[in-house]
Amino acid sequence: MSEKEKMLSGMWYVADCSDKTLYEERLKCKSLCYEYNQLNPLKSEERKALMKKILGKTGENFLIEPSFQCDYGYNIEIGENFYSNHNLVILDPGKVVFGDNVFIGPNCGFYTAEHPLDYETRNKGLEIAKPIKVGNNVWFGGGVTVVGGVNIGDNVVIGAGAVVTKDIPSNTVAVGNPAKVIKKL
């Protein structure tokens, strides 16, 4: 089984530069992200077309403000009426799926990669990809971090600066580090 097949299957895999396929895919994606981040904001059609090349699936109505960074792109899906403010980072060896009407504040990160706690194993370059799923009508305040293996329901507000390490149920407001539900909507 290839390292890419392991990655996509949620198994431990080697993510370093020794795997030519993953390395070249990351390099291609990062090159496209660089190109996107250099485009003039007035070139909205070109920006949209380039983002459609980067991401695995998009709705028709979306806007991602530069700077945007991701690893592979093909593991990211965004729904209709998606908006992200500046400095969105999605580390996507695992699938990251956003529903419709998702709004993301500036400086947010979605990280599916996880590394072994044991340093000897970690030093071998292993990681595992855990997916992130975000429902419909979700708003992330600025500076939010979401780690892999998390599901966020529909109609959720995640307060600025929150670190989401566990599932957040629908119709709630969650804040803090780690994020905790403080209100039902």
Q: Which of 115, 130, 133, 180 is catalytic?
A: 115
User: Which residue do the tokens 């979605």 mark?
Assistant: 110
The reply to whether 115 belongs to the active site is: yes
Q: Is 106 exposed, middle or buried (0-12, 13-18, 19+ CB in 10 A)?
A: middle
State the greatest distance between any 2 C-alpha atoms of the chain, in Å, as a whole number.
49
Catalytic positions are 115
